[in-house]
Amino acid sequence: MNRDRLQTMIEIAVMAGLSLILSYVKFGAFWAMGGSISLIMVPIFVIAFRRGWKVGVLTGFLVGVLTLITGGYVVHPIQLIFDYPLPYLVLGFASIFVARSVSHAPKVSAIVFGLLFATTLRFFSHYFSGVIWFGEFAPDGMSPHLYSFFYNISYLLPEMLLTLVILVLLAKSYPQFFLANRHVGGKAS
């Protein structure tokens, strides 16, 4: 196994574990049917911007599975997919807005567009799950679509904004954090 591949595997494990730990650091109110404002997305976005979409997707998938194992709520096998692995693995697609470069960190604009795109994908995954499996909890007279929209946006929007602030601060103050070391012939390039 080459050194870069081993380093990538270690980063995936560390970032997935860090995401799980940060999922327990919650801000604000707690939602009755799941969802919270936490820092769970930060490590997934960092590794996606650092290593690309494939590594970001794999890390997000692992985070979703770990989240499921450590306290998931399942009412149906398809709901399990829509609420756990899928919404976290789509976060890895944020990196499609970043030009791959060994020597340049991603631009803030690429981070913003990637984060907006990937969080929107995560929102739709939770939204469809909410409409299909949790619509019965909508208040009388409110459609399941509207209920799921407001329920999921109420925690995902603040979580996205918090994540965005952290990522922009990281990109501005420590841009090399987003650069993966590239090794050629055993030497860093």
Write down the pLDDT at residue 187: 45
Q: If you average pLDDT over residues 125-134, what whole number do you get? A: 94
Mean of per-residue pLDDT scores for the chain: 90
Determine the pLDDT at residue 167.
Answer: 97
pLDDT band at 66 (very low <50, low <70, confident <90, very high): very high
Residue 41 token pair:
């997305």
Task: Return the residue matching tokens 């012939």.
Answer: 185
Q: How far apart are CA 118 and CA 95, in angstroms?
A: 9
CB 50 within 8 A of CB 98: no
Residue 35 lies in a domain: yes
Asked if residue 67 belongs to a domain, the reply is: yes
In the chain, the number of structural domains is 1
CATH number where 101 lies: 1.10.1760.20
Residue 137 tokens, joined:
């909890």
Residue 103, pLDDT above cutoff 90: no
The answer to whether 79 touches 30, Cβ cutoff 8 Å, is no
- Show the domain range for 78: 3-178
Beta carbons of 12 and 55 less than 8 angstroms apart: yes
- Give the mean pLDDT of 91-115: 87
Determine the pLDDT at residue 188.
45
Whether residue 136 is contained in a domain is answered as: yes
> What are the CA-CA distances from residue 128 to residues 45, 77, 107, 136, 188 (Å)?
23, 14, 32, 13, 45
Q: How many helices (H) and strands (E) does the chain have?
A: 7, 4
Q: Is the pLDDT of residue 181 over 70?
A: no
Q: Tell me the whole-structure pTM to 2 decimals.
A: 0.90
185 assigned to some structural domain? no
